[in-house]
Structure 1
Amino acid sequence: MSKVKYYYDSDTLSYRKVERKKGRTLGFVLLFITGSALMGLIFLITVLNSGIDTPKERRLERENENLALQLSILESKMDLASQVLENIQDRDNEIYRILLDANPISDEVRKAGFGGVNRYENLKGYDNSTMIIESHKRMDQITKQLDIQSKSLDEIARLSADKEKLLAAIPAIQPVSNEDLTRMASGFGYRTDPFTKARKKHWGMDFTAPRGTPVYATGDGTISRADANASGYGKHIRITHGYGYESLYAHLNDYNVRPGQNVKRGDLIGFVGSTGRSEAPHLHYEIFKDGDKINPIHFYYGKLSPAEFDELLKQSQQENQSLD
């Protein structure tokens, strides 16, 4: 409750109540409001100029700091990914592709850029646009290199599978075991014919062994023939190995396979005999590559030791009499 104020009236020699005028009261109110607003404005200007952050500014600042930290972590991860990828690329070009006779992938192909000048246009206009754009560019480059390397490894896997099949298919072992072998009677080249005594080309190798000695497939393949219908060979077997290779085993005593049968290197396919144009029990062995007869001596790397191979090579080079 507001206090009542009085004043002394000298004319009436008495105290009278002070009456407030309405206009004057309103003026005081307006003056108070104006003063308060002015003080608030002065305070706001003072706060803004003093460097004191508002809650919103502090939140945005923390978000920017977190963004910078995340980008720094991402850069570190991309550095590590680039190192690992570069190591794989080096092994790809310098080991895998050399062993598999494949052309290396050039750096121009691996590290080619992307087309389009406006690829990162939507990332511009921000405080950290430069850093963000560079991170996106690097990530795109790594992604592209990974895609190229992935396709390269797929190709290497296919080449490896083909190379494994090729190595298994090549006639690479001796068709008669050394334990069962009496001697290597005749090699590839010009030899004396046992029947005509004329010097003629001997197209295979003769392995002397007792009748019934096991004969083994020298490489993976399919039996294409197992009959006695070829002149001079008697009972013989032909194996089609694929990749242009074929092997022939002649003068057999008996078969252990049939035409169309698939065999693996080292499988028992028949037995030594002396059928056909043969002077004594032995195995006549030939190898064909793309239809041409080639020297089998170059393919015995499967089970022979270096010393055994050297001895076999010496015997095969002697120009003696063949057994067929």
Structure 2
Amino acid sequence: MRGSIFGKMFSMTTFGESHGPALGVVLDGVPSGLDFNLEDLQAMLDKRAPGRSKGVTARKEADKAEILSGVFENKTLGTPIAVIIRNTNQRSKDYDKLKDNYRPGHADRTYDLKYGIRDHRGGGRSSGRETVARVVAGYFASLVLPKVKVNTFISKLGPFECENIIKSFPQDLGTYNFGDPSKDQEIEKYLIDLKAKGDSVGGRISVNIENCPVGLGEPAFDKLKADLAKAVLSIGACVAFSFGAGVKMADMSGQEVSVDSANFGGIEGGISNGEMINLDLTFKPTSTVGANAKEGRHDPCILPRAVVVVESMVRVVLADHFLRQKAYEV
């Protein structure tokens, strides 16, 4: 299986399955001398970890990062960084019914068709648990561009919707990472009810990137918008991507679009222009529904735990393109 490597100057290779001994990532291209803080890394992993709030999966994992290489005395060495996160709370029997029962919209059927074999326990490599390795990569990417702010939040979850937060991003997004934390209790009740019914729901995650350096992006095929799209669409449940005015441009005239540079979302000609970059990502409902959702440990909505994954993938792209741009200055 190919396709587990992402990035060029800052690259990551993720490995492991949902119900295997561990998942992990090998990072190459991380500059030397960057300050490393295990507590900060763990704080990012905790945002994605299962079993931390009501209405999400009951699977509980400590998600403790084990640094195997590339860090010494809290500094990056410039050598490959290897990190693993051990699986400690698998209940593989929960998935026995899925061995011969494909979930629509998941990789169950296509993995069998492509490889002739699959790990049905939680989806194996196609499980959302694979994204824990991406969060590790996102932490190290943040060390490359510490001044860049990546404000990521849920702007739509089922019937709950809020406007894009640009001027006053809240310090605390609450339990569910929704743009309006006052809705937490309503969202909690909604998710608990969904899980009791064996149903699921999707929504939208929005991203506002502040202080992005000018000049990131490599036309023609590695435009910044193209690599951001690939990065977020590689997240299993993400099904659509747009930036700036996005799909609204289909109903706008050229004069309407050109009058405000914000419509271009901080990217012109595939290159960052130094303005705020705005992204909107659509996520589908979780594939496991019905009796299997009631009996197993599944999220009725993946968005609350996907927010930090989106942030991490965005940071990886920015770090990769920043290092590529710096190469021109040598």
- Quickly name the TM-score band, shorter chain normalised: under 0.3
- TM-score (structure 1 length as normaliser): 0.20
Q: Which has the higher helix share?
A: 1
Of the two, which has the highest radius of gyration? 1
